[in-house]
Structure 1
Amino acid sequence: MSKSLSAYIPSIDGLRGISILMVFIAHIGFERIVPGGLGVTIFFFISGYLITTLLIDEFITHRDIDFKLFFTRRLLRLYPPLLFMLVLYGVYLIITRSNFYTAELWASLFYYENYHFFNQPLQSSPICKILWSLAVEEHFYLLFPPLFLILAKTPKFFVSALVMLLFIPLALRISGTMLYGNSGDVIERYTYCLTHTRFDSIMYGCLASLLLHLNISGSFAKVLADKRIFIIALVAIIGCLFYRNEFFRNTLRYSIQGLALFIIVPAIINVKTYQPLKSFLSSAVLVWIGRLSYAIYLTHMIAISALSFLREGGHTIVFYIAVTILTAILAVSCHYLIEKPFARLRKRFKPSYRLVVA
């Protein structure tokens, strides 16, 4: 493996900003216009891309992966804001005298909300069921670092293994449509939320990072620099939004989106041709929103649920404004009171070289 560039990349935070805005706007009532699900898929890709870069940097330096440090950093990154969100949720339940399900609390705390939501949808509130995507990421983080360490010494075989693994979720999505039928809520939850049917969305990012750092004959870089391939990838992303066939949406959609992001995201980050797009994503506003993205993700459904009476009362515009303001207040509070202090603590558990911020 060649030495990787491990400097902070603002455009990745900008892309996070775009993604969380897609999720937020979809959830406040524009899901038929704004593809919130695509925003989640982009988050998955970014996560795989950055985590693999972190692991490559550590392996290059030490020829090993310190799993204790890795999982400590992940815990300090993700768990304190999650606890902040669950405390807010508890306050919300007390104020609204809403039903409380102990099983949902355990599912949220121990990262299996996606399987809980699939098996017990009536006991999953909108506030907690969004944690399905966090569960997918955490399950992946448990399995991928050991796999990385096993395969990192044989890079070409590593690439082949990742490519083969990409077909497993697709096969499971196809078999799921046969088991649960091709339409309805059950099959949508099965193909959209479960780890074993969605981990390929993260793995496309892993594969892109691995190919960039291997740089075998510069072949992947040449593909990224080809404008025709970039345009095809953009058309594929857009086509996935408009093609409404149920079988396609439950199966091939995520694979095609992953392949498209496999081209689009690394190209924007690394190819000079797309500097205008990179500059746009590096704008201060988008980068700032991107840095708040995890806090926004955790708190926006609390704001939506708490202020839903405004929409039900016909005050739709007021609802949009109020939810945006309350989400901003909660997210900024979470960022400064929880995320930043624990980010300083997390630095104590980093290897002694510079890494991309995950």
Structure 2
Amino acid sequence: MRQFAHLDAMRAAAVMLVVLAHAGLELVPGGSGVTIFFVISGFIITHLVLKEHRRTGGFEIGGFYRRRALKLVPPLLVALVLPTALYAWLVRPVNLGDVLGQVFFFFNWRYVDSQVDVLPGSIVVWSLSIEEQFYVAFALIWLLLVGTRRPAAALAVLAGTAAVASAAARVVLHLGGASEDRIYFGTDTRLEAIAIGVLAAVWYARTTREGSGAPAWWGRDRVLVAALVLYLGSVLIRDELFRETLRYSVQAVAACLVVLWGLHGPTGPLGTRALAVMRWWWIQLLGLASYSIYLLHLGAQHLLTALVGELPGPGGVVVHVVVGTGAGIACWWFVEEPVARWQHRRRVRSAAPATAVSAGQPAEQAAGQPAG
């Protein structure tokens, strides 16, 4: 069984929260799906660079950016750049500054007042802008830290500081009269969830490096229950101050608890059943295709409405969900997967000469880079 199957299940849940909310189910907390994505991104990226550091003692920043580009850019071309060009040519022009913000990942700052003019359905890339800003800054910071005596500890201090500062920024901005959009779309106000994911990865790396493995309590049912209670509380509490400040913190902690729980593996009956469900093939498929689904679902829904008109009632919601999700899965299958297979073949070929020269050297070490 894949060690991180629960992360793909979390991605599936996160993206479907967004898809359902955009399909017209207003009671679904779609925004919480973005917070879950942020936590997972912080964890995965940190886990990969710490793994690379343990294996090689260094960090290849060029390889880091190359892998991110190969993951992000091809679907972005298909879901955003080409459709935007066609829309501007065949339908009407769009705002060039807003489009450049989407392409070069500063769109969230263009969107803080919700006054943007882009391809219908493409506004979802605001969260991708925050993640990409994190990738760029994180790689540069890690490059500086990797030569220090205790780089992981220094990274944990920075991540903890960033999390506290981000939560404090929300409080200060809200009390100062900032708009809901400023808090929701700002990099500074949303960085906390990513930083919590970074902290989880550092903690996991420390426990496994010392040989004891993940603490036993991580896998207990009570951790899963606590995560569910926290998440439901963050959704049900409607107080404005809470929603503009602590809501994001609570959701990020809840997501982090599920990440840690799955890293140990369930030790109780509830967790065992939950993980079995998480490993269902169609849930794993949604998780693997979550990036493309996220990029394409809203645009596909807008296109459907333009072609056939509004589809009212529950039937309309179902059709919008199926069309949006199906478009994303198709993009994953025909765009993401071929690129991933090409990247894998390239990595295997580059590892082969080094393996031949250094007899007995593990293939993963010879390749010099972790997967991802």
Alignment of 1:68-87 (within 5 A): 68-86=62-80, 87=82
The CA deviation at 1:311 is 8.8
Q: 1:108 aligns with which of 78, 102, 118?
A: 102
* 1:276-299 CA distance string (max 9 Å, x none): 222211110100111111111111
- Structure of greater relative contact order (alpha carbons < 8 Å, 6+ residues apart): 1
The CA deviation at 1:231 is 3.0
The CA deviation at 1:40 is 1.1
* 1:40-71 CA distance string (max 9 Å, x none): 11111111111111111110111111000110
Q: Is the 8 A contact 2:79 2:295 kept in 1?
A: yes
Aligned residues between the structures: 346
Q: Residue 184 of structure 1 corresponds to which residue in structure 2?
A: none
Q: Is the 8 A contact 1:269 1:278 kept in 2?
A: no
- Identical amino acids, percent of aligned pairs: 27
**Is 2:332 the partner of 1:335?**
yes
What secondary structure is seen at the aligned counterpart in 2 of 1:118?
coil
* 1:105-140 CA distance string (max 9 Å, x none): 111110111011115624355522210110011000
**Is 2:73 the partner of 1:62?**
no
Deviates most, 314-323 or 156-165:
314-323
Classify 1:242/1:344 alpha carbon distance in 2 versus 1 (closer, same or farther; 3 Å).
Answer: same
Structure 1's unaligned 5+ residue stretches are 1-5, 182-186
Alignment of 1:1-358 (within 5 A): 9-31=4-26, 33-86=27-80, 87-92=82-87, 94=89, 97-119=91-113, 121-124=115-118, 126-151=120-145, 153-154=149-150, 155-181=152-178, 187-215=179-207, 221-225=215-219, 227-273=221-267, 274-308=271-305, 313=310, 315-347=312-344, 348=346, 353=364, 358=372
* 1:300-350 CA distance string (max 9 Å, x none): 111111223589646444533443343244323322332122112333369
What secondary structure is seen at the aligned counterpart in 2 of 1:353?
helix
Classify 1:126/1:245 alpha carbon distance in 2 versus 1 (closer, same or farther; 3 Å).
Answer: farther
What secondary structure is seen at the aligned counterpart in 2 of 1:73?
helix
TM-score by length of 2: 0.83
**Cα distance between partner residues in 2 of 1:89 and 1:316:** 30
The CA deviation at 1:171 is 1.3
Q: Which amino acid aligns with 1:282?
A: R
